[in-house]
Structure 1
Amino acid sequence: MLRQLLPRCGRALRAPAIRPSQLSLAVQVPRWYSIKPEAASAAKPLGLDPSKLSITKTTSPKTPKDPATLVFGREFTDHMLTMEWTKTDGWLAPTIQPYQNLSLDPATCVFHYAFECFEGMKAYKDKNGNIRLFRPDKNMERFNKSAARIALPTFDPAALIELIAKFTKLEERFIPNERGYSLYLRPTLIGTQKTLGVNPPGSALLYVIASPVGPYYPTGFKAVSLEATDYAVRAWPGGVGDKKLGANYAPCIVPQMEAASRGFQQNLWLFGPEEYVTEVGTMNLFVAMKDKETGQKELITAPLDGTILEGVTRDSILSLAREKLAPDGWKISERKLTMRDLYEASLDGRMIEVFGAGTAAVVSPVRKISWKGKPVDCGLNDNEESGEIALRMKNWIEARQYGDEEHEWSYVC
C-alpha cells in the first residue's frame, strides 16, 4: 500500500517545470533588505485620543537652573507625559503627571529582549515667546517605523504631536530665552508585559520626558577627529540600523572608548570589504568634495539602503542643499562612498569639508580621519573649526527652528 501511495505523492508534489523565460524574470527581482512589518496595534479598538488627556501638576516645582550650567541630558523638567497600551483595549487615556520613577516587574520584556525605541527632538522659544517644534511629523514617522519593526504598537502621528505640544507648553518655563538653547524631548516606547517568553508584547508604555539643554558646543564649533572603524559594524543589510532602537546604541560604546583611548572623539563606521563610509558616531555623515573629472562641487551622504538612520537633520540638509546650493552649481548626491574615495580626494586636494549631522549638534565639523594609520585631512585650515557649508547649514536650520524664517518645518505649540 505504501509503495502504491509514494509515486502518487511524488507526482503530486513535483514542482512544475520553469521555462527559460520565467527564469530570467525571476532573477531580475531585486532583493529587499528591509522588511515591512505590520503594526502591533493595527487592529486594536482604541486609538490615541488627546481629548482624554488628564493633567496632575507637581506639588514641588523645581527652579530652572542657570542656562550656563546646563549639561546635555542631565536636568529634567517637572512632569512627564505617559500613555499605556494593551492588546485587548488599545491606547488608554494619556496623562501628564509629575516626573517619577517607573515601577516594572523584573520579568518585564523590555529588560530581557530590548523591546524599546525612542526619538530625539527639540522645542525652541522664538523671539516672541512662542514655543516651536522642528519637523515633529518626521520624528513621528520614524518613531512608528521603529515601533512596528519590533512588534510594538503604533499610533496616530497627529495625536501624539498634539499631546507633545501640550506637554511642552506646560514645561515652557524650562526653555531658556537665549539663542542656542532648547528643550530636548525624548519620546520613548517600551514593552511592559511580564514574561520570559519571546513574543510580541501584550502591553506597552509610551512616555515623554524633557531636558533643558544649551548649545552642544558652548564655546562655538570644535572640529572633531575620527577613527575609521572596520573591526566593528554599526549596522548591516537586513538589520535594524535604519530604526531608532536603544539596542543599536549600547554596542557602539566600547569601540568609541577604544577610539577615545587613541585620541579620537568618534568612530567613522565603515562597512564591507569595500569599506563604505556610513555614519559618524550616532550622526549621519556629509562629505563636500570636487569631482575628479569635472571639478564640480558635490555634497554627498550615504543612501537610505536599510543601514542608515533616516535622520531628520539629514533630510533637512539635503532639502536645503537642493534649494540653496544646487542653483550655485553644486551636485547633491545620496550615494555610496568608500574610505579610499575620501583618502584620494584628500591627497588630490579635492576635499572641501566633512561634517556629521544630528539633532543634538545640528552639524559637527570633522578635522581629520585616521584610516589604517594614515591621517586623512578633511579640508579645514589649522585656524578653522568649521567649513563654510556646515556653518551655513547650521544657520539655515536654526533660522527655521527659532522662527526667524517662517516655514512649514516649524510647528507652533
Structure 2
Amino acid sequence: MECQLTITLAEQKKEKPSADKLGFGVHFTDHMFTMDYTEGKGWHDPQIVPYSPLTLDPAAMVFHYGQAVFEGLKAYRNQEDSVWLFRPDQNFKRMNRSLSRLSMPLIDEEFVLEALKKLVAIEKEWIPTESGTSLYIRPFVIATEACFGVRASHTYKFVILLSPVGAYYSGGMKPVKIYVENNYVRAVRGGTGNAKTAGNYAGSLKAQEEAKEKGYEQVLWLDGIENKYVEEVGSMNVFFKVKGEVWVPALNGSILEGITRDSTIHLLKDWGVPVVEKRVSMEDLYEAYTKGELEEAFGTGTAAVISPIGEMSWNGLRMVINKEETGPLTTKLYDTMTGIQYGQLEDKFGWSVKVTE
C-alpha cells in the first residue's frame, strides 16, 4: 500500500485489569487499528487510534447480508520480556481466503502484519506476564455501505482489536465431554465452512446450547450431506489417536483450515507419529473404541491450543476415552506448542515472529 500508517495516541489510558479478572475477550486495550475500503479507491486511511465505538449506518450491509470475516491470534511475552506472535502470516493468508469467499476485497498481508506489530508494540504494557496469559488479537472486516441491494458492498472497514486474556487452563487441563450432533450441521461443502465468517458461529450456537443442557461442554459436528463423517469439535479442529496413528478429518471445503491444526500436524510428523488425513466416520471411531484402539482425542484452536476430549456421546452410546484423563500425546503437543509460543522451547520451524525486544 502506498498510503502511510498514521498513529494517534490516547490522551487517557484505561485501568488495566488484575490477572485474576482477565477472563477471555472482555477487556480491551487503549488503541485499535482501522482502515477503510472504497470501490475504485482501494484500501485507504490506515491508522492506529484510541479505542472507540464504530459509527455505522443502520442500513450498513453487514447487518443485513452478513459480509463479515474475522481472525484470531495471540501475542506472547517470553522469559526475556520480549513480545512474539505465532504464525501471524498464516492468519492473514486465511483472512484473504475468507474475504475472497464472501466477495470482499483482499488485504495487503504484509502491510497489515506490520501495522499489527506496531499496534502490539504500542500496547506492550497490556500483555499480561502471568503463566498462560497472553494478548488476544481480533482482526475483522465488515461491509459498511448503506444499501438494501443483495450484492457485495462497495465499502468496508478493517479493524484490529486487542484484548488481554487469562490462562485458558487456570485450574489445569481437563478433558471435556462432547455431544455428537445429529440434528444441526455447522457447514456443508460448497458453503462457507472453510471461511472464518461470523455467520458460521451464529449458526452453531443453538446446538451448543442444547448440548450444554444435556450436560456436555462441546458439540462434535458431522458432515452436512451424509451426517456420518466427523468435521470439527465446537469451533476447533479435531484429532483422534487410534492404535498408534493419528486420524485427522481431511479438509473438504466445509472444515476450517486451522493454523493450530496445521502446526499440530507438523509436530506429529516431526516426531515420527503417523498422521492420516482422511474422512473419519463415527462408525469407524466407535469400532475402534469397542476394540480398545481409540487411545486419545483432542481439539486444536487458538484459544485453548490443545483441548483433550474425555468422553463422547453418540446416538445414546457413551464412549469414555483414556479413562477421561489427558493422554501423553495430547500433553506433549500442548507443552511443545505453548513452549514454542512463550519462547521456552526452540522454534525449529520458524513460526514465531518478534514484535519487540
TM interval, short-chain normalised: over 0.9
Tell me, yes or no, if the aligned pair for 2:265 and 2:275 is still in contact at 8 Å: yes
Which among 348, 352, 357 is matched to residue 410 of structure 1?
352
Aligned to 2:279: 336
Q: 1:197-240: per-residue Cα shift (whole Å, max 9, x none)?
A: 01221111000001101111211112111111011111111111
Q: 1:39-75: per-residue Cα shift (whole Å, max 9, x none)?
A: xxxxxxxx375xx111111122012211122110111
Aligned to 1:234: 186
Listed as ranges, the matches of 1:97-176 within 5 Å are 97-176=49-128
Task: Tell which structure's C-alpha radius of gyration is larger.
Answer: 1
Deviates more, 1:59-68 or 1:399-408: 399-408
For the residues of structure 2 that align with 1:242 and 1:90, how far apart are their CA atoms?
25
Q: 1:85-144: per-residue Cα shift (whole Å, max 9, x none)?
A: 111211112111111111000100000000100000000011111110100111011000
For the residues of structure 1 that align with 2:63 and 2:144, how far apart are their CA atoms?
9
Tell me, yes or no, if the aligned pair for 1:356 and 1:365 is still in contact at 8 Å: yes
Please tell me the residue identity of whatever aligns with 1:275.
K
Which among 257, 278, 281 is matched to residue 310 of structure 1?
257
For the residues of structure 1 that align with 2:242 and 2:305, how far apart are their CA atoms?
20
Tell me, yes or no, if the aligned pair for 1:48 and 1:159 is still in contact at 8 Å: no
Aligned to 1:208: 160
Shift of 1:406: 3.6
For the residues of structure 2 that align with 1:363 and 1:71, how far apart are their CA atoms?
18
Tell me, yes or no, if the aligned pair for 1:81 and 1:208 is still in contact at 8 Å: yes
Displaced runs of 4+ in structure 1, greater than 4 A?
Answer: none
Residue 68 of structure 1 pairs with residue 20 of structure 2:
yes
Identity, % of aligned pairs?
Answer: 40
- Return 5+ residue gaps in structure 1 as ranges: 1-46, 291-296
Please tell me the residue identity of whatever aligns with 2:236.
M
Residue 93 of structure 1 pairs with residue 93 of structure 2:
no
Please tell me the residue identity of whatever aligns with 1:252.
S
Tell me, yes or no, if the aligned pair for 1:311 and 1:358 is still in contact at 8 Å: yes
For the residues of structure 2 that align with 1:273 and 1:336, how far apart are their CA atoms?
12
Please tell me the residue identity of whatever aligns with 1:381.
K
Aligned to 2:239: 286
Q: In structure 1, the residue corresponding to 2:287 is in which secondary structure? A: helix
Aligned to 1:355: 298
For the residues of structure 2 that align with 1:228 and 1:155, how far apart are their CA atoms?
37
Aligned to 1:387: 327
Please tell me the residue identity of whatever aligns with 1:245.
T
- Cα RMSD over matched residues? 1.1
For the residues of structure 2 that align with 1:387 and 1:63, how far apart are their CA atoms?
40
Tell me, yes or no, if the aligned pair for 2:182 and 2:227 is still in contact at 8 Å: no
Tell me, yes or no, if the aligned pair for 1:81 and 1:207 is still in contact at 8 Å: yes
Please tell me the residue identity of whatever aligns with 1:368.
E
Higher relative contact order, structure no. (Cα contacts within 8 Å, ≥ 6 residues apart): 2
Please tell me the residue identity of whatever aligns with 2:62.
V
Normalised TM-score (structure 2) = 0.96
Residue 373 of structure 1 pairs with residue 320 of structure 2:
no
Listed as ranges, the matches of 1:45-60 within 5 Å are 47=1, 49=3, 52-60=4-12
Q: In structure 2, the residue corresponding to 1:92 is in which secondary structure? A: strand
Is the alpha carbon distance of 1:275 and 1:334 closer, same or farther for their aligned partners in structure 2, counting shifts above 3 Å? Answer: same
Q: In structure 2, the residue corresponding to 1:393 is in which secondary structure? A: helix
More strand by share: 2
For the residues of structure 2 that align with 1:349 and 1:59, how far apart are their CA atoms?
62
Please tell me the residue identity of whatever aligns with 1:277.
V
For the residues of structure 2 that align with 1:48 and 1:126, how far apart are their CA atoms?
34
Tell me, yes or no, if the aligned pair for 2:76 and 2:342 is still in contact at 8 Å: yes
Tell me, yes or no, if the aligned pair for 2:143 and 2:156 is still in contact at 8 Å: yes
For the residues of structure 1 that align with 2:280 and 2:169, how far apart are their CA atoms?
28
Normalised TM-score (structure 1) = 0.83
For the residues of structure 2 that align with 1:381 and 1:262, how far apart are their CA atoms?
21
Please tell me the residue identity of whatever aligns with 1:402.
Y
Q: 1:321-346: per-residue Cα shift (whole Å, max 9, x none)?
A: 0001x1xxx31111111111111111
Please tell me the residue identity of whatever aligns with 1:411.
V
Which among 351, 373, 398 is matched to residue 338 of structure 2?
398
- Return 5+ residue gaps in structure 2 as ranges: none
For the residues of structure 1 that align with 2:247 and 2:292, how far apart are their CA atoms?
17
Tell me, yes or no, if the aligned pair for 2:236 and 2:300 is still in contact at 8 Å: yes
Q: In structure 1, the residue corresponding to 2:203 is in which secondary structure? A: helix
Q: In structure 2, the residue corresponding to 1:93 is in which secondary structure? A: strand
Question: How many residues are treated as equivalent by the alignment?
Answer: 352
Please tell me the residue identity of whatever aligns with 2:263.
S
